[in-house]
Amino acid sequence: ELQELKAQIQKLLQLGFIRPSVSPWGAPILFVKKKDESMRMCIDYRDLNRLTIKNKYPLPRIDDLFDQLRGACVFSMIDLRSSYHQLKIKESDIAKTTFRTRYGHYEFVVMPFGLSDAPAVFMDLMNRIFHPYLDQFVIVFIDDILIYSKSQKEHEEHLRVVLETLRREKLFAKFSQC
């Protein structure tokens, strides 16, 4: 576990997702085994989440989403790469994301997984970005984007619009899942 901890901290530092911290905050970490037997470092933000004023941004109702798909026969799904890590945190809130390890304290400069408001914040961002296309040919559910169309030709145009929007907003998709 210690080797894995060092490796994951080093990777997060290299990616610019975390930096050393002197914050009085400090959530504990734990490791969870993934399906492929590798280890995922998780930060236990329960104490911070208890203090967080919850963002009540609504997630869409599944039955409403299905209603939008009527008449569509061509679909594409885009999943964003490390979606939360694409959101920068306000400087004044960075210290709250601090986690403690035997190798020191570190804080996230991007949205980490485990914060109670992360899904709502990301959903709000995605809805603002894709607002002109919602209910026309785009459905957004947190970090998943479904593009739906009535024909292949129409779908090619819809895909182009969505991909250009992602590029303009500097959001990156998982290439293997486009």
Q: What is the pLDDT of residues 154-163, one digit of tens each?
A: 999 999 999 9
Tell me the angle at which helices 152-168 and 118-130 cross, rounded to the nearest 10 degrees: 120
Judge whether residue 120 has pLDDT over 90: no
Strands (E), the chain: 18-20, 29-33, 39-43, 74-79, 99-101, 104-108, 138-141, 144-149
- Per-residue pLDDT, 176: 53
3 state DSSP class of 149: strand
Q: Compare 177 and 172 and report the one with higher pLDDT.
A: 172
What's the pLDDT score for residue 177?
45
Which residue would you say has higher pLDDT here, 143 or 176?
Answer: 143
Sign of the four-CA dihedral 18, 19, 23, 26: positive
Per residue in 58-77, pLDDT tens?
A: 777 888 888 888 889 999 99
Mean pLDDT of the chain: 90
Give yes or no for a contact between 114 and 47, defined as CB atoms under 8 angstroms apart: no
Q: Which amino acid is it at 31?
A: F
Cα 144–chain centre separation: 9
C-beta separation of 108 from 97 below 8 A? yes
Q: What is the pLDDT confidence band of residue 178, given thresholds at 50, 70 and 90?
A: very low
More confident position, 122 or 27: 27
State whether CATH 3.40.640.10 applies to domain 2-177: no
- Checking if the pLDDT of 142 tops 60, the result is yes
Q: What is the pLDDT of residue 175?
A: 63
Chain segment 128-138, per-residue pLDDT in tens = 999 999 999 99
